[in-house]
Structure 1
Amino acid sequence: MSSTSLQRLSGISLLVGSVLAIAGGILGIFSSNPADSMGIVGSLIQFIGATLVILGLPGMYARQAQRAGIPGLIGTALMICYILILGAFGSALNAVLLPFIATHAPALAQSEPPGLGIFFMVGGLLGALGGISLGLSTIRASILPRWAGVLLMGSVIQVVGDFFQSPIANLGFMLVMIGFVWLGIALLASEQHDARVQSEFSTSATRV
């Protein structure tokens, strides 16, 4: 696969995935019952969105790899782990297992295994470190929008919100996904720019 094709697919994957993740998160906000159909649909949408974002991250890093360097690579890997744990796995859990438990064992649904909480806490910490590392690397690289890199640091807000069980956790998640929307659009725009430049270069070479 050419770098141009990888960049295009990554841009589409990030854009569509982050929009779906935002839509799923909004549906989840208006659902208070784990067995509610709106919450289940929102979790499924968020699962699909998180999966697409994960698939788009390697191409995003490849676009700025030379300037983002090792910190950018580490940040990308950590963000993949973060989205895999809290986005994909967490959403799948909320969509499939939690509604079943809430329906057949309501008392059990009021608590969670201690190991699961630690698992999600580790995922959040990885996201905080990944958001800072990838965000700063994106800002420093100056290839993709710098403010999108700032938005990726919203993962820190999500971790703090989850720790204190505050609604600001949702704000942090939204900021990260908006950052990925911006990066997806930027990847598609730069891909079109590169294709135009390459076409003009080929035309000039033919004339010569």
Structure 2
Amino acid sequence: MQITSTNLTRAAGLAAVASGLLFTAVQVKHPEITLDFITTTQWKVRQGMKVAMATLALVGIAGMYLRQVRQIGILGLVGYLLFSLGYLAMLCVETIALVVTPMIASTSPEYVGGIVAVATNASSDADLGLFTALNMCVAGGYIVGGLVFGIALYRAGILARWAGALLAVAAVATLGPLFVTMVNQRLFAVPNGIAMIGLGWSLWREQRSTAADVLPSSARAQLDPSGAR
């Protein structure tokens, strides 16, 4: 396969779709996070899915931005940088949860317990060092960046506008568990997954249509008698 900007952008669209699917799937029947659960195989599988999700999201978001860099303007640039920062910090957090926490759960239960408290929005007196700041980057980048980037995508009108609007709404909905405690907080992650699927699919289809439009014109140029002369 020839490496072109169109093919790379289409690949970014598929990456966004895969990210959204993983983000949605990992929420299904997710057990309560406890010290015991962190040492299980299921924890490692789910965390591996989250690491892959964050990685694919970074690729997909970059493709969305580069496809409409002129139309999306300064607002889009700010949203892209913040949203990417959120997913990059999320990648770091999920990698730590996958690689580090299972290994130290028995030797440093207080520290791991503090991480569990952060993940479940509970209070803890554990000193987590810079992990707290890293987690704040996740929250700030994901929520503020998702809101701004979603609005910018909607205004640009290149990709599916409903998906851009849903991304903005999903970012704000992340705050839902702080106010609606009786609802499973993982339900609030589903809209973001759907938005990523919609945006990624829209990006893939848009680039596919562009490639289909270019090919016939090239073929016509070759067959044009004036071109032969």
TM-score by length of 1: 0.86
> Is 1:172 matched with 2:176?
no
Contact 1:158/1:168, CA 8 A, preserved across alignment: no
Equivalent position amino acid for 2:55 in 1: T
Deviation per residue, 1:96-143 (Å, 9 max, x gap) = 222223233334432241542233123212222211111111111111
> Is 1:136 matched with 2:145?
no
Q: CA deviation at 1:165?
A: 9.4
Aligned to 2:140: 125
Q: 1:75 aligns with which of 76, 79, 90?
A: 79
Aligned to 2:94: 91
> Is 1:100 matched with 2:103?
yes
Q: Within 1, Cα distance between the matches of 2:205 and 2:73? A: 22
Q: Which has the higher helix share?
A: 1
> Is 1:46 matched with 2:61?
no
Q: Within 1, Cα distance between the matches of 2:74 and 2:173? A: 24
Aligned to 2:66: 62
Ranges in structure 1 where 5+ consecutive residues have no aligned partner: none
Aligned to 1:9: 11
Which structure's CA Rg is the greater one?
2
Q: Within 2, Cα distance between the matches of 1:107 and 1:133? A: 37
Aligned to 2:160: 145
Aligned to 2:121: none
Q: Equivalent pairs: percent with the same residue?
A: 26
RMSD: 2.3
Q: Within 2, Cα distance between the matches of 1:181 and 1:92? A: 23
Q: Within 2, Cα distance between the matches of 1:150 and 1:24? A: 23
Q: Within 2, Cα distance between the matches of 1:31 and 1:100? A: 19
CA distance 1:169–1:63, shift in 2 (3 Å): farther
Deviation per residue, 1:163-183 (Å, 9 max, x gap) = 569556423332222211111
Contact 1:13/1:184, CA 8 A, preserved across alignment: yes
Q: Bigger CA drift: 76-85 or 123-132? A: 123-132
CA distance 1:123–1:100, shift in 2 (3 Å): same
Q: CA deviation at 1:89?
A: 1.4
Aligned to 2:125: none
